[in-house]
Amino acid sequence: MSVQSIRPFKAAAKDVAANFHGQQVVYFCWDQHLMFYAPVAKLLPPDITFQAVIDTELTPTYSRHPDFARIDWAAVQWFKDGEAFTPVLDTSLAGNGITHKTAVHFKTPGLNGLNGNGF
């Protein structure tokens, strides 16, 4: 059954950056580690350094996985919204081009989940 509006409808998105009081939502996903089956959303200030994100956000989130302690962070492959990129660790998220609702994926060569099966 179709519906016809009796007046114009203007939808207003509620998840725009302006509604997060100076913070931004950033999604992180550790590829090939399905113990964490979906990206995690983090509410972060744009001026936090990328290294601080690794230390204070990614480590507590993913450290329960047996592979985590074996990550060679210098060899990690990073992707920002599907494109490969190399983060500058001592630069802010904003300085690395990471904005509200950016999806950051990372792959860890040689670590492909529990027993190499992607979990």
Amino acid at 113: G
Please give the pLDDT value at position 38: 93
Please give the pLDDT value at position 118: 74
CATH of domain 22-116: 3.10.20.560
Distance CA 66, CA 36 (A): 12
Q: pLDDT 10s digit of each residue in the chain, 119 long?
A: 788 878 888 888 899 999 999 999 999 999 999 889 899 999 999 999 999 999 999 999 999 999 999 999 999 999 999 999 999 999 999 999 999 999 999 999 999 888 778 77
Three-state secondary structure call for residue 68: helix
Please give the pLDDT value at position 116: 79
Total count of residues recorded for the chain: 119
Domain regions of the chain by residue span: 22-116
Distance CA 42, CA 58 (A): 9
